[in-house]
Structure 1
Amino acid sequence: GNRRFVAELGRNGELSSESRRRSLATRQQPFAIILGCSDSRVPAELIFDQGLGDLFVIRVAGNIVAPSQIDSVEFSAVLHRARLVVVLGHTQCGAILSTIEALNQPADDQARKLRSIVDRVRPSVEMLMETEVGKNRDELIRHSVRNNIRMSVNQLRRGSAALEHLIEHEGLRVVGAEYSLETGVVEFFNY
């Protein structure tokens, strides 16, 4: 679907037709769960060229993993039997940029809700700031986005007994991916 999106060959009209809406009115069976960033430039259904009922999408700033996101992933994996979870980050993520800014110039008056996002992203960025990567802002951003995706994948894989069981015994896969705002291409990671 992402290849169709990048090539501007989308099937979106047929994926949201009246007959499709009616067929989904009483049931859904998404084939994948997407835990993605709430950034307005990263709508999972569009970038994967999917329609109504195809994806169970959870969006939160910085594609962070908190108890409600774990619960939502469990909900769809158990109830809808979706067997693929994609943690979808993206280039130039505002949550990453805000975290880097907060680590460079901590502010006591930072909004409480922003601080809660920054605090969840912080471990992904903080460890890189002490390395060579931390000396180059563009590299720090790029590596922090990917590190944040990796950490979210690991939290989902190990943060829930139900998800661990589904991974071990029922074929649930949890993978990471990064969407490029510049090219529209999604790159999947093997970790």
Structure 2
Amino acid sequence: MLRGNARFVAGEPRHPRQDIDRRNEVAEAQTPRAALFGCSDSRLAAEIIFDKGLGDLFVVRNAGQVISDSVVGSLEYAVAVLKVSLIVVLGHDECGAVRAAISSQGPDATPLPPHIQRLIEPIIPAVRRVVGAGAVDPAAVDAERVGREHLRDTVAELLEKSELIGEAIAAGQLAIVGANYRLAQGTVLADVIVGPATGSAD
């Protein structure tokens, strides 16, 4: 995946496994090498930024890459049934969900619609750790730092909520990499690694 991202950053993607033959090859079954749980942001298209093709990645996304039962179940399916050896949890800069969580803590914050409020609530602990005690000035908060804290929380929560995933890591069958994507540069930078992470084929 790192090699694919390097090609994307350099503007030299190969667009592998995206032809008719590959489409036919994976029509009956899928055998992805990795699962990716990332933000729904339209600028974070996993197969593009990692230069992958059909059947290469099992992708789960929601706004702010927030853990939920459906996310955990999907990732457990990837591990237990599809036998992926890597889960990438991918955050990014300029995240709207992170910014909404920060803004929600301001003294004059406008109430959010209920579903959006519930979505961003898991990000608020990261905001409070970055800001500390006291009032929050949303304009002064380092959103990138909040995003990094939230990414680490997401990895920790996934491990806490999934015994299956924890057991796969303990058995040396799975690794989790928490990484941040830089929108302008196109680069993916690992922030936290749990388990025996290894490279995947092009």
Two-structure CA RMSD over aligned residues (Å): 1.7
Q: Say which SS state the counterpart of residue 11 (structure 1) adopts.
A: coil
Partner of 1:4: 7
Give runs of aligned pairs for residues 118-157 of structure 1, distance below 5 A. 118-130=120-132, 137=139, 140-157=142-159
Partner of 2:80: 78
Length, aligned pairs only: 187
Q: Which runs of 4+ in 1 moved over 6 A?
A: none
Alignment counterpart, residue 161 of structure 1, candidates 149, 158, 163? 163
Distance 2:147 2:118 in 1: 17
Give runs of aligned pairs for residues 14-93 of structure 1, distance below 5 A. 14-93=16-95
What CA deviation, in whole Å up to 9, does each residue of 1:66-87 have, x standing for no partner? 1110111000111110010111
Partner of 1:113: 115
More helix by share: 1
Q: Say which SS state the counterpart of residue 64 (structure 2) adopts.
A: helix
In structure 1, list runs of 5 or more residues that go unmatched. none
Q: Say which SS state the counterpart of residue 149 (structure 2) adopts.
A: helix
- The one-letter code of the counterpart of 1:10 is P
Give runs of aligned pairs for residues 172-187 of structure 1, distance below 5 A. 172-187=174-189
Q: Say which SS state the counterpart of residue 26 (structure 1) adopts.
A: coil
What CA deviation, in whole Å up to 9, does each residue of 1:94-148 have, x standing for no partner? 000000110113434x2011101111211121211117xx779576201111111
Distance 2:127 2:138 in 1: 13
Does the 8 Å CA contact 2:5/2:50 hold for their aligned counterparts?
yes
Q: Say which SS state the counterpart of residue 56 (structure 1) adopts.
A: strand
Distance 1:135 1:103 in 2: 8
In structure 2, list runs of 5 or more residues that go unmatched. 194-202
- The one-letter code of the counterpart of 1:6 is V
- The one-letter code of the counterpart of 2:11 is E
Does the 8 Å CA contact 1:15/1:50 hold for their aligned counterparts?
yes
> Post-superposition shift, 1:190?
3.2
- The one-letter code of the counterpart of 1:5 is F
What CA deviation, in whole Å up to 9, does each residue of 1:28-54 have, x standing for no partner? 111111000000000011000000000
> Post-superposition shift, 1:169?
1.2
The structure-2 alpha-carbon separation of the partners of 1:77 and 1:17, relative to structure 1 and needing over 3 Å to count, comes to: same
